[in-house]
Structure formats: structure tokens, C-alpha cells
Structure 1
Amino acid sequence: METSRFTTSRRGFLGLVGTGAAVAALAACSTGGGGGGGGASASLKFWNMPWGTPAFNTLDSKITLGYKPESGLPAATYQAIQWANFNQTFSSALASKTGPAISSGGGTQAFQFAKQGFIAPADGLIESWKSNGLYDDFLPGVLDTMKTDAGYVAVPYNLDMRVNWYNRELLEKAGATPPTDWQSYLDAAAALKKIDVYGFAANGNASGGNAFQMIVGLMINNGGGIFDEEHKPNLVTAANIEALEFVRENISKGYMDPAAISYTATNANSQWKAEKFGMGFDVPNLAANVGGASSSQLVVGDPLTSASGKKGALYFPNNIMMYKNTPSQKGSEAFMTYYYQNMKALWTQNTGIGLPVLKSIAATPEFQSDQNAVKIVKMWQPIAKTWAAPGGTALFSNISYVDSTPAISDFGQNVLSGKSPKDALTTFQSTLTSLIKD
């Protein structure tokens, strides 16, 4: 039986909301970046997050310190940055010009810092990859998520998304078949209900749940989403209302655990493990998070065809960015090329980093051994869209207002508590409009 390779649930897409004071300080202190000279006299600082198990940063450091630069280019140093207070860590370091030359971070971090003048565009780097095969190695569409009118803000690094899972044994027991569209999903959930199993798994806790991601994923599935082509919130649409009606039907028919509105992800994992949840939308590493005997029965389903005949899902392209304050921009780009050519071991040695962005990594025997992960990359990633949907593909700074924020958490809770779709969407629209000033 297959189980997920990914052993640690990661922050797929972290915004910078809540750091308004820090961002304001950056705007006041910014001189538009700096550095660019310096040659090999100063080291190139690479800061990375703990994307997986403790083994991740250990191996990542080894890869980084194994970099042998060309003559005249700086060597690289490595520092692991913890998720706790990471916004403040980066903000303070950039304001004092003690920050990294290259880093990963929150999913919208590069877009926020680009707006403040700290990010070095990746256009030259990505163009250079057309000659060494890296450009064509990226999964379809992922590079486009980083491309703005001002150029590439960052480079995709690892992926997270929300996909449909089901417990194979429970569906068989209920006499149900794996769903392929919204109606067959409802049919399978009805069959599960007859054996006292919930078919619409959710975790709506305001601080430890991610049901709002599932809900937005269903909106995207139906051709909707949050933002229009002008990067403005446009929520009260027929596509979004229809998606929320689908959610409300699952709730009203008793397919969702009534306590789910207060569940954290950990609570939901326990329900999957206890075989009280039989179907639902969750993270790519759900099976590993659940553990135990039940995990071997968890299977990634096919992308669902929505009521409007569309397919789609929500995904989070985490990224690596370069900063203007570097001892050498040429050195930054040389290191990035080395790193992307040598980061495969982070996946093949099962460090829990998440889904790869490179086809060559997805094609390795180690990755191919996980049938669930393979299916996600093969069938879900090509139809997945970012928070920017339906208006576009590329991320932008205002997405930080919907990335794990109180505004979107409240929206999720309103939907799960039975508020009418139009009212829930109208309230969310009003909240976002009041927050977004540009």
C-alpha cells in the first residue's frame, strides 16, 4: 500500500499580514537595496526555512556549503530561520542591511519586499537557465506564478496544494465509488453517512485549521476565486456562490462533522486516523500526518469536475528570492544555478520538503515510489491555480491579505457555520476592500 513520502506538514503559503509596522519601517529605511559589488571578499548568505524534518536543514546546509564558486565569486554560508517570528526576522535584517543575499520564506514575502525595493529580479537568472536545461525542467505553469509586470520576483522552490483524499476501505465498505465530479462526491458522502463516517472532512479552527483553503479551492474548481484581473477582490460571483452552495449542501445533509468548525489540522488528522473521516480535501502529506494503519488506506482521488464543468484546485508555490543587498549579483545567480542543479537529494532522501517544482525530481525512482505524490504532480498540479485566481496566475503583494489571515479565517468559519453563500462572500468582500488600499 502506498503512503505519502512527506513527513511534516509545512506552511504552504505564509503571508506578511500582521507586520504592517515592520513593512512601514522597511519603506522608511529602504534605499532601494544595495551591494552588487564586493567580489569574493564577503560571503553570500543563504537563509532557508525548516521545510521538513530536522534532516532537511542538515542536508540543505551540506548542499549549500558544498558550493565551490568560480574564481572571484563569493562562497556561500547557511542559516536556518525558524518560522516563529520569521516576518520580524527578515524585516529587521533587511532594514539594517544585515539580511541574506538569497532566501526562501513566506509564499508572498518576495512580492512584499519587491514592492519595498529589496528584491533583485530573477529575469537574468531564469533566462540563463534556457541554455542549461533548468528552464524546461519546471513543471507546467509554476514559473509564471512568479512573473509580474516588473519581471520575475522569485523562483519556485516547492509546492503545496489542497487535493481530494478518500479512505479506500471505507468507500468499499459503504458501497461507494471514488468521486469524479461534485454530484458523485455527494453520492459517495451520502453512502459514507450510512456507515457513520463523515464524507466532507474539514478543520475550521480560527488559529489551527485550514478549511478556508478547501473552500477557496472549490471556488477555483468552479472557475471562481478571490481576485480579478486588476488584483482587486471580486467575490460575489455566480461561480463562487455555486461553489459555496455545494459546501452548504454537504453541511446541511450531515456529511460534515458538526464539531469540525473548531477542529485544528491535528484534530482532523485524528478523525482520519479513527476512520471517522472518509473523504475530504487536505494537504499532500495527509497520509504521513495521519499515520497508523489507516494511512495505508488513504488515496488521492481524481480532480473533480465542478457543477459548471470545470476542474481546478488551490496550490501554493513556495519560492526562493534574491536580494539587492548582495556581495555579488553574479555570485547570487551562480549559487542559485548550483543549488537548483543539486537540490534533488532533499526529495530523494525523504526530508519532508513537499512537492518538487522540477520534472527531473518528480521522475526519480524515490519520488515515483509514492503513488499519491505522483498522482498529485501528474493530475492535480497542471489544473491548480494560486490565490490570484480567477484573474491571473502570478502572485502579488495584496495576496498577503488572504494568506492565513483573520479575514479569510473568518470567511471560512462563516461558510462552515451555515451563513448563506452570498452573505459570506459579501462580508469577505467588504473586509478585503477595507484592508486593501492600492
Structure 2
Amino acid sequence: MNDTRLLTRRSVLAGSAALGLAAALAACSGSGAGSGKPLKFWNMPWGGVSFNPLDKKISQAYRPAHGLPPVTYQAVQWANFVATFASAIASKTGPAVSSGSGTQAFQFAEQGQIAYADDLLDSWKKNGLHDDFLPGLLDTMKTPKGYVAVPYNLDMRALWLSAPLLQKAGVQAPTDWQSYLDACEALKKIGAYGFGISAGPQGNGFQVLVGLLINNGGGLFDEEQKPRCVTDENVQALEFVVEMIRKGYVDPGSVGYSTDNAQAQWKAGKFAMGFEGPGLASNLGGTFTKDIVIGDPLTGATGKKGALFFPNNIMMYTNTPSQKGSEAFLTYYYKNMAPLWTQHTGIGLPVLRSIAETPEFKSDPNAAKLISDWQPICKTWAAPGGDALFANVTIVDSTTPMTDWAQNVLSLKETPKESLQTLQTRLEGALKK
């Protein structure tokens, strides 16, 4: 699985002030016969070093039908990717098809730059691809005007456990918030922290906290897609976090930790439980690939289950040499992209059942459990108001108000309700800009 730092760079607003185009683009290469101007496919480095070479090979094997354009492939690095896409789209030199940030399609759709995927998805009803998607995933892409993109790979924040540390502490894996607290108390006695989190500017602490809000039936947006932070469910979830902080179950340094710092604590045997991305075990490497395991989804204080996930996607643009060509290439690509997962290139979790059910993918029990047990209960940033993403979720995706909120909670600068009131005010202010 891939580095969570790659999968969490979703906000197309986060770097919108960037002016340079420093993102290194891999060399373009044509693919196959065809006619007319080539169709550009840009993809991100979603996995390890083997991902883009294999992805390029799959893309270049495409042979368009007569009259449709061939495809060129570019790997777009995450560094300055916001400016890279924004400038290319504005100058009409961008891709016809691309991945990118998880909310990018929703932003460009507002600018009239996205070719909606309704016709493509309708055509997939005939070849079985439409029904191959995991439950609820297509709904996350649906807007009143149509489907802005097609789900491609999944990231989520799920519970990881250090099996050796839990065994040393003599405690069972938690199944709800109370048993989680009990496990934390046992782990504290052996010098380990039960709630590993990184809330610094380069961490994902705000995602972990939102995941707990969702776990308790809460979240940040209402049915009208407006911020609604101060709810009983959200306050209760943060009170759970504060209890863990006051009881010493949280590393005091977590308020400033980066993802790298958190991984160092896992390696040092200081973090025994925590909510991280699918790639944690492989990122830690060594014996950790077997020593840390995915736990069961927790039942929150309200009796509900839930977690935060990110349906990364592939989108089509109105600036294409051929819309039929864009759709034909994506049909080919989705039919042939399975090796990206079966060869364990490090891409996020698959969106298609046919890939998730392969013996090669299921050979990783943690990845298999994420699909079978966690994906069905996951929700997007839009929770609890709905499943579909929308343009304004960018105000909570890797933004300063969210990082500040997480740090305020962990440092106990504000009570749970006060921190949510502050966050509400800042998100409303962000929408007015």
C-alpha cells in the first residue's frame, strides 16, 4: 500500500497560491494506432516505485478503435500539482483524462471544465463494469448535474493495532469506545500509547478526529452541504478524545507530530493503536508488516459505526480531442488496471469487486479486511448530511482551520464544544471568501 502522505494531498485549494510549475512530468509517449490529436492521460504517483512504470505500460497497450485518438501518458508529481493542473486547464494544454486530488473534479466542474461521466457509466451497464463497483462508491461522485468522475482508488482512516504490544499488555483488541479505553489503560502500564495521532501541519490528526465524529454518527456537514459542527454526537466524540488525553493515553508530542514522527513512534513501540491509512504496515516495513494488523470497526457511544474515507477518482475534461475517445480509453483502462493491485504496486484500495476478490489482492489480510469490514461503514467528508462530495468540502480538506482545530483539541486549549464552535466560525468564514 502507498504512503498516506500521497493519498492525503487532496485539496485543490490547499496550494492554490502556488505560482510555479515545478511538478516534474514524466516523458510523454504515444500508444498504438489511431487517428487525430493524441488524448492526454495524466496520472499521479499513487503507489511505490513500481506503480507508474506499470501504469504507463497498461496505458500504452491501449489500441484505439478506428477513428479514435491514441493516448499519451504523463506521471504528474504531487509537488505543486495544484498549480500544474490549474495552469494547464486554464491554457487548454491540460489532459483529457486524469486523476488528481479527490475533490479536484468538483472544483473544475464548477468552472465548466469537466465532462460528466453519465454516458460512460451508462455504457458500462452493458459490459458489467457499472455493477462491479463496491457499494455506494458511485454515489460519492453524483451531483445534481451528473457524475463528475469515476471512483479509482480508496484511502481511509482505519484502526491499526500492534498485536505484540496488546499481547504484552494482556488485553484483547477493542470493539467499542469503552473497551478501547480499557486497552489504553493496559497499554499505559507497559509504556505504550493507545491513541497514536499526529496533529502537526504535516500530520493527519484532523482526519482522525473527523473519523471519530463519523464513528459516533456525527460529522461536519448537514443535508444542505453547509458546515454544522456543534452537535451532541460531535461533542461526545471529542469528550472521548479528551478523556484519553487526560488519562495519559496520548503522546504529549502528538500535537506537533508529522506523519513521519508518528511512524517513528510506531517503530519505537510507543504507539500501539491508532487510526491510519491502508499503507501503514508496508510503510513501517520489516516485522511490522505482520506485527500490526487492522482491527474491527469500533462501535461509538451512540451505538453507531463509521469511519472517514477518501474515494480518489479519475475525471474527464471538456478539453479533449474526442469525448468518445476519452470514454473508450477509460473503458479499456478499467478493464485492464487490475495488475496495479494484484502486483502490489502500493496503490490505494481497489474500487472494483473483481479486483478485491482476486487471490493476489486477498493475500494481504489487512487490505482484505479493509474492503470487507471497513469500506461498507465508511463515509466521506460530506457526512452526516450525505455521501456525495461537493466543491466546498475543500474547506476542510488539509486546510489551516482543520489543523488548528486538531491542535486545539489535543492541547486542551478549548473544551470540545468550544473547539467545534471555533471551527464552525472559521469554516463559515472560509465559505464567504
Common fold, TM-score beyond 0.5? yes
Deviations 1:377-414 (A, max 9, x none): 00000000000000010110001111111111111111
In the alignment, does 2:429 pair up with 1:429? no
- 2:297 paired residue among 285, 288, 303: 303
Structure 2: tracts of 5 or more residues without a match: 20-33
Q: Contact 1:40–1:327 (CA<8 Å) still a contact in 2?
A: no
In 2, the alpha carbon distance for the partners of 1:437 and 1:126 equals 35
Percent of paired sites with the same residue: 63
1:300-339 mapped onto 2 (5 Å cutoff)? 300-339=294-333
C-alpha displacement at 1:18, in angstroms?
Answer: 4.0
TM-score between both structures, scaled by the size of structure 2: 0.94
Q: Distance in 2 between matches of 1:183 and 1:18?
A: 36
Q: Retained in 1: the 8 A contact 2:14–2:398?
A: no
- The structural deviation recorded for 1:274 is 1.2
Relative to structure 1, the CA distance from residue 335 to residue 239 in structure 2 (aligned partners, 3 Å threshold; closer, same or farther) is same
Higher relative contact order (CA 8 A, sep 6+): 1
| 2:301 aligned counterpart, secondary structure | coil
In structure 2, the residue matched to 1:33 is none
Q: Offset of 1:238 from its aligned partner?
A: 0.3
Q: 1:319 and 1:142 mapped to 2: Cα distance? A: 10
Quote how far apart the aligned CAs of 1:8 are.
Answer: 3.2
Structure 1 residues 198-251: Cα deviation after superposition (integer angstroms, max 9, x where no partner):
001011112x10011000000000010001111110000000000000111111
Contact 1:198/1:278, CA 8 A, preserved across alignment: yes
Matched residue of 2:398: which SS?
Answer: coil
CA distance in 1, matches of 2:60, 2:207: 37
User: Structure 1: which 4+ aligned runs deviate by more than 3 Å?
Assistant: 18-23
Residue 401 of structure 1 corresponds to which residue in structure 2? 395
Equivalent-residue separation in structure 1 for 2:162 and 2:16 (angstroms): 43
SS in 1 for 2:154: strand
- Equivalent residue, structure 2, for 1:185: 180
Q: Which amino acid aligns with 2:236?
A: E
Work out the number of aligned pairs and report it.
417
The answer to whether structure 1 residue 149 and structure 2 residue 162 are counterparts is: no
Q: Secondary structure of 1:360's partner?
A: helix
Write the deviation string for residues 403-433 of structure 1: whole angstroms up to 9, x where unpaired: 1111111111111111210111011100000
Q: Which runs of 5+ in 1 are unaligned?
A: 1-5, 24-38
What RMSD over aligned residues (CA atoms) do the two structures have, in Å? 1.4
- Give the Cα–Cα distance (whole angstroms) in 1 for the partners of residues 309 and 357 of structure 2: 20
Shift of 1:280: 1.1
1:179-218 superposed matches below 5 A? 179-206=174-201, 208-218=202-212
**Letter in structure 1 aligned against 2:260:** T
Matched, 1:383 2:377: yes
Counterpart for residue 74 of structure 1: 69
Alignment-mate amino acid for residue 91 of structure 1: A
Instruction: Indicate if the aligned counterparts of 2:2 and 2:278 stay in contact, CA closer than 8 A.
Output: no
Alpha-carbon shift at residue 260 of structure 1 (Å): 1.0
Per the TM alignment, residue 40 of structure 1 is displaced from its structure 2 partner at its CA by: 2.8
Matched with 1:220 is 214
Match of 1:242?
236
Picking from 108, 113, 126, the partner of 1:113 is: 108
TM-score, with structure 1 as normaliser? 0.93
Partner of 1:281: 275
SS in 1 for 2:127: coil
Could you tell me which residue of structure 2 aligns to residue 158 of structure 1? 153
Write the letter of the residue equivalent to 1:435.
A
Q: Give 1:297 shift.
A: 1.1
The structural deviation recorded for 1:11 is: 2.0
Question: Which whole-Å CA distance do the structure 2 matches of 1:334 and 1:46 have between them?
Answer: 12
Deviation at 1:7, TM superposition (A): 4.6
Question: For the Cα contact (< 8 Å) 1:411–1:428, is it kept in 2?
Answer: yes
Deviation at 1:193, TM superposition (A): 0.5
Q: How does 1:337-348 map to 2 (within 5 A)?
A: 337-348=331-342
Q: How far is 1:290 from its partner?
A: 1.4
Q: Which residue of 2 aligns with 1:268?
A: 262
